[in-house]
Every structure is written in C-alpha cells, then in structure tokens.
Amino acid sequence: MTLADPVLVADIGGTNARFALATVGAAGIAVSDRQTFRAEDFETIRDAAAAYLESVAPKPKRACFAAAGPIIDNAVDFTNSHWILRGDEIAAALAFDDFLIVNDFYALAAGIAHLPASALIEVKPGDPIVDAPRLVIGPGTGLGQALIVPTTTGDRIIATEGGHVSYAPRTELETEIKRFIAREHPRVSVERLLSGRGLVNIHRALCAIEGAQRISLQANEITAAAVSGAYPIAVKAVDMFCAILGRVAGDAVLSTGARGGVILGGGILPKIRDIFLKSEFIVRFSEKGRMSDYVAAVPVRLIVEDGAALYGAAASLGKKA
C-alpha cells in the first residue's frame, strides 16, 4: 500500500526527539525535513511535535512515533527524562486522523527492508538461512531487541525484551564487574552492561577494580575518550562492551533461532564504529562450544543510518493502514 500524503514520523528517546516527514510510495519510503529537538528544551513531547509541525506544510494528518520504552496503555514513560508520551493526548491535541506508537526496535525491524543500501555495513559475512528469523539488537537507551519472522504473507515483527535476560559473566574480571553492579541492582540483566548507562557501569566498575582515580564520565564521554585514546580505562571499557555484546548477541541467536542474520542498531555502535569493527565482538559472537558453527554461519550487519527508525515508523503506519 502507499501513503500518498506525507506522514509525520518520529523517533523519541530519553534525551531527544527526531521528527521527519515520510512518504510511502511504490519506489519505497522517502524521509525528508528531519529535525531533532532536545528533551530539556521542551516541557512535553506535544510541544516539541507542535514546534516541528509549525515548520512544515501541508500539515500531515497521520503520524507514527517510535519510542524507546515499553508501551503501556498507549503511553510511554521515558526513564531518562521528564517526558511522557500519551497517544490519546497527542492524537487529540495535534488533530491526527491516525496516530500510532510503536517500540523503537519494532520500528527499526520494520524499517530495515526500506533502508537505502548505504544505511548498513557488514560486520561479518555468513551463510544465512533465507526463511529463518532475523534478530535486530543494539545498545542505546537500553539494549533493544526485535525479531523479524518470515511468514507466507510477509514478515512478522515481534518486539522482545531480550535486554532484560540475566547476565552470564565469562571471565573473572567480568564476574567482578557483575558483583560491582549487583551492589546497586541485585538482579544484573545484560542491559545493565549493554546500554549507555551500562557503559557507564562498566567504566565505573573498572575504575573501582583497578583502584584508579574515579573520573565520572557519561556514556558519550566514554565513547569519545575511547576513540581519542585519552583514557586507557575508557578504551578498556569500550573493548569489554564490544566483547560482551558479541557474547550476548550470540546467545540471542541461539534463543531465537535467528539463522537469517543479525542486524545491529542503536545509537552507541556508530559512535565507536572503527573500534567496534576491530573488537572481539565477532570472536565472542561465535564462541559457543558445540554450537559455534551454527552461530558462525549467521551474518551480522550494522545500521549506520542515524534515522533508521523513521523509515520503520513510516512502514509501521503503512502496514497498519
């Protein structure tokens, strides 16, 4: 189906909201007029959306927002900010005929088929099984995950909560890090290590374990310091982050039978792209004992297009229509 008139699409996280217009045509999805608004500059998401809509004409009558958080009763409460996204309120205030909220990794999964070729790079080759599920996974606000399950009538997208499975440390150092995190969060899920806050946790734990002077860094400061090489512990934290992500992604492939491929998303990996591609990710991904061949055959790609979820938001609206 096609959406001849432009629709409003958004990708809303804890710290900012990205808005754009999308048209769904026979030639694919086109996304234009992108603008990003910071959560700290707007009291509500409605205000941010209204500010965006002032700049475009004609005003779209349909909209889909991808949100980084669980959708409960058509609303999302963002853990990292004061924003709350309420579907009914937005639809009424902005006079949309049709308004949809989807999980951000659901949107990412729904959008992959519509991304331009330049949006994805290869992390490792593989020998995918065409009709097997594909896994979308990536660290950002949390460790988002979704499954793409091929069916006889097209792909079915399933949002999962794989970021919340129990964390299984492999080395003694990883066990130490788990103990450090467990002081604050007795149940250590993989998301406690593999997310923006997770990277902060790994860095803090390494500082404590190595008895180093504790430099309090945010996630984007740690990734920047790792890229520049400014702080050795930041470099080490990012290396561990990549290695642990490899193991966790490999486990997720086993859990879901995702022999069709893995697509990495989220905001963190593109920022550490070169480090990531040279990291232990690939080795740890396939290191599964008797099941190593099974996992090693799975190709892995990385989404490097910043607004990938916007394509998926448009596709989700198209699907629903």
Lay out the site mask for a second copy across 121-140 (x = CB under 8 A, - = otherwise): -----------xx-------
Cβ atoms < 10 Å from Cβ of 276:
21
Give the footprint of a second copy on residues 9-68 (CB under 8 A): none
CA distance 108 to 105: 5
Is the separation of the CB atoms in 35 and 24 below 8 Å?
A: no
Element at 103 (helix H, strand E): strand 98-103
Q: Is residue 171 within the footprint of a second copy (CB under 8 A)?
A: no
What is the closest distance, in whole angstroms, from the C-beta atom of residue 291 to a second copy in the complex? Answer: 4
Q: Is residue 156 within the footprint of a second copy (CB under 8 A)?
A: yes
Instruction: Between 92 and 254, name the residue whose CB sits nearer to a second copy.
Output: 254
Q: Provide φ and ψ at 115, rounded to 5°.
A: -75, 150
* C-alpha pair distances (Å), 82 with each of 14, 34, 71, 200, 219: 8, 23, 16, 21, 20
Q: Is residue 320 within the footprint of a second copy (CB under 8 A)?
A: no
Instruction: Choose the binding region for a second copy from 46-54, 145-153, 227-235, 274-282 (rule: CB under 8 A).
Output: 145-153
Q: Which of 30, 53, 113, 168 binds a second copy (CB under 8 A)?
A: 168
Q: Is residue 173 within the footprint of a second copy (CB under 8 A)?
A: no
Amino acid making up residue 239: D
Q: Is residue 176 within the footprint of a second copy (CB under 8 A)?
A: no
Instruction: Between 70 and 232, name the residue whose CB sits nearer to a second copy.
Output: 70
Torsion-angle region of 74 (φ positive above 0: left; ψ -120 to 50: alpha; else: beta): left
CA distance 84 to 82: 7
Total chain residues near a second copy (CB under 8 A): 39
What is the closest distance, in whole angstroms, from the C-beta atom of residue 159 to a second copy in the complex? Answer: 6
Cα torsion angle, 166, 195, 116, 307, sign: positive
Q: Which of 152, 183, 213, 216 binds a second copy (CB under 8 A)?
A: 152
Bond prior to 150 in cis (omega within 30° of 0): no
Q: Is residue 75 within the footprint of a second copy (CB under 8 A)?
A: no
CA distance 259 to 150: 12
List Cβ neighbours of 72 (8 Å cut-off, separation of 6 or more). Answer: none
Q: Which of 118, 151, 213, 216 binds a second copy (CB under 8 A)?
A: 151
Lay out the site mask for a second copy across 283-302 (x = CB under 8 A, - = otherwise): ----xxxxx--x--------
DSSP 270: G
What is the closest distance, in whole angstroms, from the C-beta atom of residue 205 to a second copy in the complex? Answer: 17
Is the separation of the CB atoms in 314 and 31 below 8 Å?
A: yes
Q: Which of 189, 195, 223, 279 binds a second copy (CB under 8 A)?
A: 189
Give the residues lining the site for a second copy (CB under 8 A).
70, 132-133, 145, 147, 149, 151-153, 156, 158-162, 164-170, 175, 185, 187, 189, 247, 251-252, 254-257, 287-291, 294
